[in-house]
Amino acid sequence: MDYRKLGPSGAVVTAYCLGTMTFGAEADEEASNKILDGYFAWGGNFIDTADVYSAGKSEEIIGRWLKTRPTEAQQAVVATKGRFPMGTGPNDIGLSRRHLNQALEASLKRLGVDHIDLYQMHAWDPLTPIEETLRFLDDAVSAGKIGYYGFSNYVGWHIAKSVEIAKARGYTRPVTLQPQYSLLVRDIELEIVAACQDAGMGLLPWSPLGGGWLTGKYRRDQAPAGATRLGENPNRGSESYAPRNAQERTWAIIGAVDDIAKARGVSMAQVALAWTASRPAVTSVILGARTTEQLADNLGAAGLILSDAETTRLNEISAPQPSDYPYGTGGTNQRHRKIEGGR
């Protein structure tokens, strides 16, 4: 079993985390319980949820499961998130002390616990002073309501500013960032990964299979259909079918993953997950499964170590493609050039 430290903390988690966004929606309670049972039977110990997943049902399902599984509950590292609205009032959203206090208490109640191991800010709030948010989180740690805190969907300057303010004021510091990250989405490498490494924070990638694209379930110029995420909603956010289908890079990456999977006798999903788990600063990769069969296949990635040649091929074919400035060679190589004309 591959155990890793939760960022700079002393807590230890498995390299694959069980994401539960499907609980209460795509997976009913019976199916969700089987997924949880299968994950812990495999040896996993890290569960990720959020208050807005199925309007609180995901947390409730996990809470009832933990209550009936005392042994697993003792080992489980539970993470949840707050920030998005669970009500209709003007203060039922954001990272203010008022909203976070209500959100945290509600999550504790739904989960049936008096302590949450990792409490994550689900997205940046441009309206609330970051000092207010950080002070609330520091107080929550001191009160024993949360063990650690982290962020999700933050960009580089959000991370840097938050960490420096926490350091300056003597607050507890964040331990993790949960970003979208996969062979198809590597833009966080331009700045966000470096910000996390500088702060000592671990990464918890979500959507490591690119919404199913990296499993081989979609075909070029053939609109998805059936019981797949894009079959149900082909315009699903950053995973939308039409924009990705139009990019040659998408199919080059899928082709490379498929080649490696066939050569190794494993699934495409396992290749894509093994690549993500091996990336710098990654603590645990979040797996989202609708069925126990999907979960079992995904967990098979734990025993797969890609060769240097395989990794290099995937790295090169999926490399981020920034414009020349500031992240391309016209910007990042400035330190190697003779300074002329004020540059």
Indicate which residues carry an active-site annotation: 53
CB count in 10 Å sphere of residue 275 = 24
Alpha helix segments (H runs only) across the chain: 29-42, 57-68, 70-75, 97-111, 130-142, 156-169, 192-199, 229-232, 241-245, 248-264, 268-277, 292-299, 308-317, 329-332
Give the neighbor-by-neighbor strand order of the sheet with 146-152. 202-203, 176-178, 146-152, 116-121, 77-82, 46-48, 16-19, 285-288
Identify the residue whose tokens are 């990296």: 214
Q: What is the end-to-end Cα distance of the chain in Å, rounded? A: 50
Q: Measured at the alpha carbon of residue 223, what is the angle toward residues 217 and 228, in degrees to the nearest 5?
A: 45
